[in-house]
């Protein structure tokens, strides 16, 4: 299937409509927008410049937000000795099926296997036990940007791969209260980042015991809703209490000269958030990028560029707009091809300028998110670009919020739950008795998992959606990636 522009020849391959096959649409977009390509390493992806540029912008802005809260960056080794990994029983059991092992160094077998980090709690604990001696050494609020390896059976670009990029924060505190405060603080940073930078609304809440991180006392999450009605866990923050500290003997001397265990947290967000951007905002023409993470915010496309003065004027506009991330497409491709390519890549604004526009001292600005065309005086180009990018960012968040609102349902009993999950993809708010058996039954019968117990519980009064016993919590449920 091809797209045609007027009488021109076939230009670019069309992508599968998301309404026809959402999974294929997603794969088409990541490949044709040149975000990712497959590698010869099974289950591992090559992130191409267009994809990595999005990650760089995410990293820059999230890192700034972290540092505003006192976070410092460090770097830990990528290898973990097996004896170190085995120190925290629940933790190692949770990760054992996904661990990749190094058994040889060069030609020689290693005396002890080394795990390629699936996450770095054990390394940070081993470091903290020597680095923390006194209450004066606390808190430690560290983060690292790195890659991790988890031997996934099934992989999908950005959403699940055997190696992926992320940040992992690891903190140590004197008290349980301080650790809990930091855990919630970082979850709120993630939520603010998703809404204000990525234009993705999220539900904040706590994971159930079944769904929490291995070795954590409590896991908090932000859950986003994709266009197809599936949920995506988009960032998590964990309170470890003093469990890891006891396993690794991380103690400090308090003001009263007594030895106490530290309380720890960890929190992370990965390149799977790029998958969320694609699936929340994309359309049948390709990517739709929020201006704040668009590697190119404005693409200038000269029309009839061989005519005198057109390229010069387009270049002048590019110089005037240099405070934005701006590019000009002066290749010999046809305008229709260039428009299609700009749309596929999700560039927020396209500026068209040709001989007639120059005569009238104007250009045409086209919004990627709505397709709206706006004639703009060249005298006002900078102000209009600023105004339009801010409007696009706001409108994208508003549309995403509306999608969540119209795809969030209530279910009072199991029959209503089952009917809703099968006929109306989205979040389902339903009461739960707190028993893991009910949680497992719902997952087994419907494929829906508990996404979170939202902080705003309201008045919990009624019966469990599964067993009919008195409810203890209101839960967001959904099928998920």
Predicted pLDDT at 287: 98
Distances (CA, A) of 128 to 116, 132, 178, 262: 20, 6, 17, 10
Length of the chain in residues, anyone? 481
CB atoms within 10 A of CB 232: 22
Q: What is the per-residue pLDDT across 2-11, written as a single tens digit (0 to 9) for each? A: 333 343 333 4
Residue 10's pLDDT is 37
Q: What is the pLDDT, as a whole number, of residue 190?
A: 98
For residue range 314-351, list pLDDT tens digits in order.
999 999 999 999 999 999 999 999 999 999 999 999 99
Tell me the CA distances in angstroms from 302 to 50, 222, 307, 342, 363, one per residue in order: 22, 43, 10, 13, 10
pLDDT band of residue 1 (cuts 50, 70, 90) is very low
Whether the predicted pLDDT of 12 surpasses 60: no
Question: Rounded mean pLDDT of 24-33?
Answer: 96
Q: How many CB atoms lie within 10 A of CB 261?
A: 18
pLDDT band at residue 89 under the 50/70/90 scheme: confident
Segment 340-365 shows an average pLDDT of 97
Cβ-contact 240, 217 below 8 angstroms: yes
Measured between alpha carbons, how far is 481 from 187 in angstroms, rounded to an integer? 20
Can you give the pLDDT at residue 82?
Answer: 94
Segment 249-274 shows an average pLDDT of 98
pLDDT at position 9 = 37
3.30.930.10, 3.30.450.20, 3.20.20.150, 3.40.50.800: CATH of 296-386: 3.40.50.800
pLDDT band at residue 382 using 50, 70 and 90 as cut-offs: very high
Nearest to 117 by CA among 57, 63, 162: 162
Q: Could you tell me how far CA 16 lies from the centroid of its own chain?
A: 23
Q: Which of 480, 407, 477, 476 is nearest to 442 (CA)?
A: 477
Over residues 131-141, the pLDDT tens digits come to 999 999 999 99
What is the per-residue pLDDT for 13? 62
Per-residue pLDDT tens digits for 406-427? 999 999 999 999 999 999 999 9
Residues 287, 227: Cα–Cα separation, whole Å: 13
- 438 has pLDDT over 70: yes
Tell me the CA distances in angstroms from 214 to 176, 217, 442, one per residue in order.
Answer: 19, 9, 22
Query: Which H, E and C letters describe 274-320, residue by residue?
Result: HHHHHHHHCECCECCCCHHHCCCCEEEEECCCCCCCHHHHHHHHHHH
Residues 6 or more apart whose Cβ sits within 8 Å of residue 249: 129
Q: What is the mean pLDDT of residues 356-365?
A: 97
Mean pLDDT, the chain, integer = 95
User: Is residue 261 pLDDT above 80, yes or no?
Assistant: yes
pLDDT, mean of residues 372-400: 98
Other Cβ atoms closer than 10 A to 379: 10
Q: What are phi and psi of 347, to 5 degrees?
A: -65, 125
Query: Residue 78: CB partners within 8 Å, gap ≥ 6?
Result: 116, 117, 146, 147
Is residue 458 over pLDDT 90?
A: no
Give pTM, 2 decimals. 0.95
**CATH 3.40.50.300 matches 408-478:** no
Q: How many CB atoms lie within 10 A of CB 220?
A: 28
Burial of 418 (0-12, 13-18, 19+ CB in 10 A): middle
Please give the average per-residue pLDDT across 359-381, as a whole number.
98
Check residue 6 and give its pLDDT: 40
**Looking at domain 48-281, what is its CATH homologous superfamily?**
Bira Bifunctional Protein; Domain 2 (3.30.930.10)
- Of 414 and 1, the structure prediction assigns the larger pLDDT to 414
Segment 391-400 shows an average pLDDT of 98
Domain definitions of the chain by residue range: 48-281, 296-386, 408-478
Identify the sign of the CA torsion 44, 47, 52, 58. negative
% residues pLDDT > 70 (the chain)? 97
Give the CA count within 13 Å in the CB-facing half-sphere of 190.
29
Going 143 to 147 to 149 to 152, the CA torsion angle's sign is positive
Q: Does 381 have pLDDT greater than 50?
A: yes
| Whether 363 contacts 381, CB under 8 Å | yes
Query: What are the residues whose beta carbons fall under 8 Å from the beta carbon of 252, sequence distance 6 or more?
Result: 132, 133, 134, 135, 137, 138, 174, 259, 260, 262
Task: Mention every residue, 6+ apart, whose C-beta is less than 8 A from residue 369.
Answer: 281, 288, 348, 392, 395, 396, 399
As to burial, measured by CB atoms within 10 angstroms (0-12 exposed, 13-18 middle, 19+ buried), residue 311 is: middle
* Predicted local distance difference test score (pLDDT) of residue 135: 98
Q: What is the pLDDT of residues 48-75, one digit of tens each?
A: 999 999 999 999 999 999 999 999 999 9
Instruction: Give the model's pLDDT for residue 7.
Output: 35
- Flag whether pLDDT at 143 surpasses 70: yes
Q: What average pLDDT does the segment 206-218 reach?
A: 95
Report residue 233's pLDDT band, with 50, 70 and 90 as the boundaries.
very high
Would you state the pLDDT for residue 5?
39
Question: Would you say residue 397 has pLDDT above 80?
Answer: yes
């Amino acid at each position: 299937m091809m797209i045609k522009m007027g009488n021109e020849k076939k230009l670019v391959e069309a992508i599968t409509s998301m309404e026809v096959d959402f999974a294929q649409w997603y794969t088409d977009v990541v490949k044709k927008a040149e975000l990712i390509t497959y590698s010869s390493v099974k289950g591992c992806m090559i992130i191409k410049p267009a994809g990595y540029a999005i990650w760089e912008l995410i990293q820059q802005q999230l890192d700034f937000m972290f540092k505003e809260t006192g976070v410092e960056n460090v770097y830990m080794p990528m290898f973990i000795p097996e004896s170190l990994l085995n120190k925290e029983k629940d933790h190692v059991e949770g990760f054992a099926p996904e661990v990749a092992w190094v058994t040889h160094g060069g030609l020689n077998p290693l005396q002890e296997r080394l795990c390629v980090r699936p996450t770095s709690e054990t390394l940070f604990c081993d470091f903290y036990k020597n680095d923390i001696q006194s209450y004066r050494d606390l808190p430690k609020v560290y983060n690292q940007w790195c890659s991790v390896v988890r031997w996934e059976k099934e992989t999908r670009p950005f959403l699940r791969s055997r190696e992926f990029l992320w940040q992992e924060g690891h903190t140590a505190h004197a008290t349980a209260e301080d650790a809990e405060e930091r855990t919630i603080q970082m979850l709120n940073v993630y939520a603010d980042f998703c809404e204000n930078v990525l234009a993705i609304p999220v539900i904040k809440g706590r994971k159930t015991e079944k769904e929490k991180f291995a070795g954590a006392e409590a896991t908090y999450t932000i859950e986003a809703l994709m266009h197809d009605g599936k949920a995506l866990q988009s960032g998590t923050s964990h309170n470890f209490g003093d469990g890891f500290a006891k396993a690794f003997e991380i103690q400090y001397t308090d003001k009263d000269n007594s030895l106490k265990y530290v309380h720890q947290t960890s929190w992370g967000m990965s390149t799977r958030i790029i998958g969320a951007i694609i699936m929340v905002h994309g359309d049948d023409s390709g990517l739709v990028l929020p201006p704040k993470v668009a590697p190119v915010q404005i693409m200038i496309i000269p029309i009839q560029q061989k005519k005198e003065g057109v390229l010069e004027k387009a270049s002048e506009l590019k110089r005037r707009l240099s405070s934005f991330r701006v590019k000009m497409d002066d290749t010999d491709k046809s305008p229709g091809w260039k428009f299609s390519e700009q749309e596929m890549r999700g560039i927020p604004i396209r500026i068209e300028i040709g001989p007639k526009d120059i005569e009238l001292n104007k250009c045409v600005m086209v919004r990627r998110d709505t397709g709206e065309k706006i004639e703009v005086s060249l005298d006002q180009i900078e102000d209009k670009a600023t105004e339009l990018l801010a409007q696009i960012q706001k409108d994208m968040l508003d549309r995403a919020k509306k999608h969540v609102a119209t795809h969030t349902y209530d279910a009072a009993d199991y029959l209503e739950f089952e009917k809703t999950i099968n006929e109306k993809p989205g979040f389902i708010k339903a009461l739960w008795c707190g028993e893991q058996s009910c949680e497992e039954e719902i997952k087994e019968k419907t494929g829906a998992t508990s996404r979170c117990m939202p902080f705003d519980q309201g008045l919990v009064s009624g019966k469990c959606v599964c067993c009919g016993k008195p409810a203890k919590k209101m839960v967001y449920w959904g099928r998920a990636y």
